[in-house]
Amino acid sequence: MGNPTRRILKNTVALGVARGIDVVVMVLTAAIVSRYLGPKLYGEYGFVVSLVTLLVSFTYFGTARVAIRNIARDKEQAETTLGTALVTRWILSFLVMVIILVLLVVMKVDRNLKIAILLTSVSQLALSAAMLYNAVFNAYEKMEYETLLTFLFQFFSLALVFSVVKLDLGFIPIFAAMALPDLSRFLFSKLLSNKKFIIPRIIIDTARIKAFLKDSFILGTNLLIVQVLLRVDVLLLRAMKEGKEVALFFAPHSILVGLLVFPTAFSTALFPFLSRSAQNDHEALSRGFNKAFKMLAIISIFFVIVGMFFASRIITLIYGQAFIDATLSFQILLPAAIFLFLHPLLSFLLIANDRQSLLIPASAGALFVNFVLDLILIPRYGNVGASIGSLVGYAVLFSITFYLVNRHIVKISLLKSV
């Protein structure tokens, strides 16, 4: 198996580079699109992305994490595990597409928004399928393949978006420019996974699919709740305020969500180690987790301090002077980076120990608090009120998860060395 520490470090670097590319492209895309569309249309753009991302998150339903865990534990059943995961995701994708088509019929929005929703749905469903093949790379601890695909197709997407803006093609082509790279990424991920690792064994077995869904049900439910938590502010702002208010929240919140890819990448790289240690070496599990927790805490605090000091410059650098009014929302949201940096590690630890059911009280409690605060604060304070609701909601998410991990899995040591 090689040196575990070296392997984890290599995979963390590989995923860190991939997520770094994601962030760079996200920032550049936001800078290009926000300046091109302006605050009002960028608010509509944010509404489309938030709505579709929320709906498509249903297709993930915890299948990738269950697949990673099961393949990492039993390579002999890897082909069957992947095949079952694929069939499960195809079924979920079909259901989501039906829901989206029904929404397109009944929603009272203009034709351009409906086309944008359809294009974004195709894009996100393709990306969902690609991510399942990335789970194979993760389970075999060969994250460099994901890095390669991320590099190729993220910059392909950026080039297409830049071309659309340069040629002044309008609102709809921006979404088409994002859909084509995601479709291409799905096809290349499938080919690479089949050639280098395993060819899935597709078995239409109702009992097996039900068992897989049962295993992933808790993760899927939690994922849906978390996605609602991340998107509810945009949807409520769109319902109660004008497009500009949506943009002034969506812009700084996107920076926060973008930063989240780093701790998620690190936790994903650590996940196979956590899964194995949970079965046979609790001492190594506790020691490794505490070191990782402290490191992420220090990094997140650094990000918050730097962000607070340069908040207005960061906003204008990325989105332009037209978004300067988003600075206050950004400053309110920044402390949430600490909570969001640490939460993925806590959640992966619970999953590795088969205690994923403990994730739901945390995410449900956070969503409830965020939703109530949004209803109270958004009508009066707009994007600032939404930012306060998000900050408190994310604090609740972290606090409950931290308590449950500390009580049921490992004692989290923040001061003394482990």
Q: Which pLDDT score, from 0 to 100, does residue 90 have?
A: 84
Residue ranges of the chain whose pLDDT lies below 50:
1, 415, 417-418
Distance from C-alpha of 345 to C-alpha of 409, rounded to nearest angstrom: 13
Q: Which pLDDT score, from 0 to 100, does residue 135 have?
A: 76
Buried b (16+ CB within 10 A) or exposed e, 337-375: bbbbbbbbbbbbbbbbbebbebbeebbbbbbebbbebbe
Q: Which pLDDT score, from 0 to 100, does residue 309 have?
A: 92
| Side-chain-side CA neighbours of residue 392 (13 Å) | 17
* pTM above threshold 0.85: no
Residues with Cβ within 8 Å of residue 328, at least 6 apart in sequence: 384, 387
Q: Which pLDDT score, from 0 to 100, does residue 306 have?
A: 93
User: What single string gives the DSSP state of each residue in 143-161?
Assistant: THHHHHHHHHHHHHHHHHH
Distance from C-alpha of 316 to C-alpha of 322, rounded to nearest angstrom: 8
Q: Which pLDDT score, from 0 to 100, does residue 392 have?
A: 96
Q: Which pLDDT score, from 0 to 100, does residue 8 have?
A: 64
Query: Phi, psi (5° rounding) for residue 159?
Result: -65, -40
Q: Which pLDDT score, from 0 to 100, does residue 1 have?
A: 44
By the 10 Å C-beta count (0-12 exposed, 13-18 middle, 19+ buried), 247 is classed as: buried
Q: Which pLDDT score, from 0 to 100, does residue 418 have?
A: 40
